[in-house]
Structure 1
Amino acid sequence: MVQPHQVFLAAVLPAIALGVSNCTAASAIVRKEYGSLTEQERLKYVRAIKCVLAKPSLLHTIVPATTNKFDDYAAIHVNLTTSIHVDGIFLSWHRHFVWLFEQELHQCGWPASLGIPYWDWALYPELETSPMFDGSATSLGGNGLYDPVPNGTYTALDGTVLPGGTGGGCVTTGPFANHTIYFQKLYFDTVLVGLPQNWTVPVPHCLSRDLNSWGARKFNNQSDIEYMLAKLTVGDFNTDISGYGSSPGLHGGGHYAIGGTAFEFFGSPQDPAFYLHHSMLDKVWNDWQAADPVNRRYVYNGTSTIFNADTTPEVTNSTVLEYGILGRVTAEEVQDPLSGPYYCYVYE
């Protein structure tokens, strides 16, 4: 596994490690649902992403598949995938990862009063006409071209094979039409064999999507959200958000509904929609925590290895979350969006 060089750490941290003091709900930045943003705000969001795409990579010399700053985030996710999924730090790690990308967007003109938007899955029974995926200039691009061999076929935990969507090929509409990405396609089965030695080598191909409205309606509807909010223990919450029975859970369900690049277990952050999906997951988690903060804010279950393998210790407040060139934090520091050294945000 490639380990990021410390020289890059020093280059990045001063720009993003911003302390927060006297944070209140009234002073916090606001994360809005993407569809509730004005047309001008959505255009600003698209421009901010394109700005990150235009920034030079800080990792290119050690990870040649990174061609810009946006790719650097994907590289960090690829490199750490087996430590940050289906385990005790999944939610904590991704909360800070989304926040780090939010800071990047603020440096690219995204208004300081606005946080990264979220995608409320339950609002859009038809993805191809939703504000995020309708292919307009204010969207994050449309569906992929139809491909008879879709990328989105999903085998559930109980062996149920779920159908693919209506696309599968390259995204050809919207702001990210014909966008080239460079990390090779690595799906969930890669977990069983480990990252290939050549994972850092560029393999140019297009951003793809396989929108699956059926999947979104079935696995990411309001009842599914309420099912998660009704969980009584952090163990049940952590487990079921990543899948149970024939359901891929809210996490897997969202990736499955977008399909294509977003369905790649390792390289999914190459799709800009990744961050809005994970912003919504963070919202659900925060809503669950806020319902009983004394018993839910600083509680953990599992280790920091996929499937909660005992190769790493049980997660505690002092567990360190690694982000390569973007630094490190402790689990305790990321449990409350209105507290700690970094956060001051609320969801609308």
Structure 2
Amino acid sequence: MAKLTVLLLAAIAASISTASPLKRQTKCASPTVRVSWHDMAAADKKAYIAAEQCILKAPAKLNKMPGAVTRWDEFVSLHQIHALQIHSTGQFLPYHRYFLHVHEFLLAECGYKGAHPYWDETRDASKFTASPVFDPTTGFGGTGSGTGACVQNGPFKNMTVNIGPGFTTKPRCVNRQITDFLSSLTNKAAVTKALAPKTYEEAWISIYNGPHLGGHMALSMMNGDSITSPGDPLFMLHHGFVDKMWYDWQMQSPEKRLTEMGGPNAQDPAIGFLEFSGGVEQEAAMWGKPTAAMLAVTPNPHNGDPGNVTTLSHIMSSLGIIPDATVADVMDPAGQYLCYTYK
């Protein structure tokens, strides 16, 4: 009997190791409410920024991601390693929702107890530089300058990220280059257009090529590098905005859209990133290619899927920061796995 009990406990432990510790038996009863940075109290902004600084300075824990020195490096490396699976694919939206959840976990490690914020970029479209997001005291600091476009003020001045550019691992500053006229690509009309499609197959592309891409162009985080742009903590507010767009699209018809998935689960090498021409080989001239060490820890893009299409069973990984999750887990932000809504 004792031996049987030990075996049962081992089986339970094994099952827990492959599921999120936050997975509940029922839907969450009290979801947190994500609000735009504009509407956060100054004390909450400072607490969030302090946690971001903590992650940027904390030593790496996993010793798995090539080139990672800090906990933040591990997080950015996660995006780098998955880059060719999570851009221009159907899992673009669910993976980045999961990525935000990984970020929530890291924030909690550093003592942050509030909801994850987002940036309602429609409120600052055409005039990003005037946004409270870039306040040097209660924000992320402003635009960069000089050869490296390093941020010149605010909490991330003189901070170092060791992941990037592209598929390299070299120390560099947190940098961005804000262009106001490009920020018009995130206005209300652009968001309305992005959310107009009736099917997920159309909607993820519309959001991806619309305000998502427009915001990246206007901010040029980490030299506009699609592979390692999360090196700038501002990335998380921008992708909170992207996630809210998907949430708003889902809430237009939740009975259908909370379970609707599709699109390829890995890039077509002949196409590569939708926003660049020439396919993966030509794009490699910009960013290089994943190193052997990166490929050694890169998950199979078809994990959980029976073919080349992203399904609800698709498995998403953070390489050990938090347990793996499926696309189905993250479809409902206020479901059994996640627990938030947007305001």
What TM-score does the superposition give when structure 2 sets the normalisation length? 0.79
Is 1:177–2:173 an aligned residue pair? no
Alpha-carbon RMSD across the aligned residues, in angstroms, is: 2.4
Structure 2 SS opposite 1:324: coil
CA spacing shift, 1:178–1:347, aligned 2, 3 Å: same
Tell me how far 1:56 sits from its aligned partner: 1.5
Identity, % of aligned positions? 30
Give distance in 1, aligned partners of 2:208 and 2:245: 13
User: Could you tell me which of 97, 103, 106 is aligned with 2:105?
Assistant: 103
Give the greater-gyration-radius structure (CA). Answer: 2
Q: Aligned residue for 1:237?
A: 203
Tell me by how many angstroms 1:314 deviates: 1.2
Counterpart in the other structure of 2:131:
130
Give, as a single letter, the amino acid of the residue that structure 1 aligns with 2:208.
S
Paired position in structure 2 for 1:153: none
- Which amino acid is 2:234 matched to? A
Is the counterpart of residue 259 in structure 1 residue 220 in structure 2?
Answer: yes
Q: Shift of the alpha carbon at 1:313?
A: 2.0
Which residue of 2 is the match for residue 151 of structure 1?
none
The corresponding residue for 2:230 is 269
Would you say the 8 A contact 1:57–1:69 is kept in 2? yes
The unaligned stretches of length 5 or more in structure 1 are 1-9, 148-167, 187-194, 244-248
TM-superposed deviation, 1:323: 2.0
Matched, 1:17 2:17: no
Q: Distance in 2 between matches of 1:313 and 1:15?
A: 24
Mapped pair 1:116 → 2:116: yes
Q: Could you state the TM-score of these two structures normalised by the residue count of structure 1?
A: 0.78
Letter in 2 for 1:306: Q
Alignment partner of 1:344 is 2:310: no
Of 306, 310, 319 in structure 2, the residue corresponding to residue 315 of structure 1 is 310
Q: Take 1:173 and 1:284, find their aligned partners in 2: how far apart are those partners?
A: 30
CA 1:103–1:73: 2 relative to 1, 3 Å: same
Tell me by how many angstroms 1:15 deviates.
12
Q: Find the counterpart in structure 1 of residue 31 from structure 2.
A: 28
Which digits, 9 at most, give the CA deviation of each residue in 1:289-332, with x for residues without a partner?
A: 11101221111221210249898521222111222123311111
Equivalent pair of 1:59/1:66 in contact (CA under 8 Å): no
Cα shift at 1:19: 2.9
> SS of the residue aligned with 1:98?
helix
Q: Tell me the amino acid that sits aligned with residue 232 of structure 1.
A: K
Decide whether the 8 Å contact of 2:182 with 2:214 is kept in 1: yes
- In 2: Cα distance, 1:325 partner to 1:269 partner: 18
* Distance in 2, Cα, partners of 1:262 & 1:169: 8
Matches within 5 A, 1:318-329: 318-326=313-321, 327-329=323-325
Q: What amino acid is the match of 1:83?
A: Q
| Shift in alpha-carbon separation, 1:68–1:14, aligned structure 2, 3 A | farther
Residue correspondence of structure 1 range 1-348 to structure 2 within 5 A: 17-20=21-24, 22-23=26-27, 27-60=30-63, 62-63=64-65, 65-111=67-113, 114-124=114-124, 125-134=126-135, 136-147=136-147, 169-186=149-166, 195=167, 199=168, 202-217=169-184, 219-243=185-209, 249-261=210-222, 263-307=224-268, 313-326=308-321, 327-340=323-336, 342-348=337-343
Output the amino acid matched with 1:77.
Answer: H
Displacement of 1:127: 1.8
Deviation at 1:262, TM superposition (A): 6.4
Which amino acid is the alignment partner of residue 129 of structure 1? A
* Unaligned stretches of 5+ residues in structure 2: 1-13, 272-300
Shift of 1:109: 2.1
Separation in 2 of the partners of 1:52 and 1:16?
21
- Residues 16, 180 of structure 1: CA spacing in aligned structure 2 closer, same or farther, 3 A cutoff? farther
Shift of 1:233: 1.1
Change (3 A) 1:40 1:15: farther
Q: State the aligned residue count.
A: 292
Match of 1:161 in 2: none
For 2:200, give the aligned amino acid: V
Paired letter, 1:177: K
Q: CA deviation at 1:22?
A: 4.9
Q: Distance in 2 between matches of 1:306 and 1:223?
A: 29
Note the C-alpha offset of 1:231. 1.3
Match of 1:164 in 2: none
Q: Distance in 2 between matches of 1:182 and 1:49?
A: 16
Q: Is the 8 A contact 2:66 2:77 kept in 1?
A: no
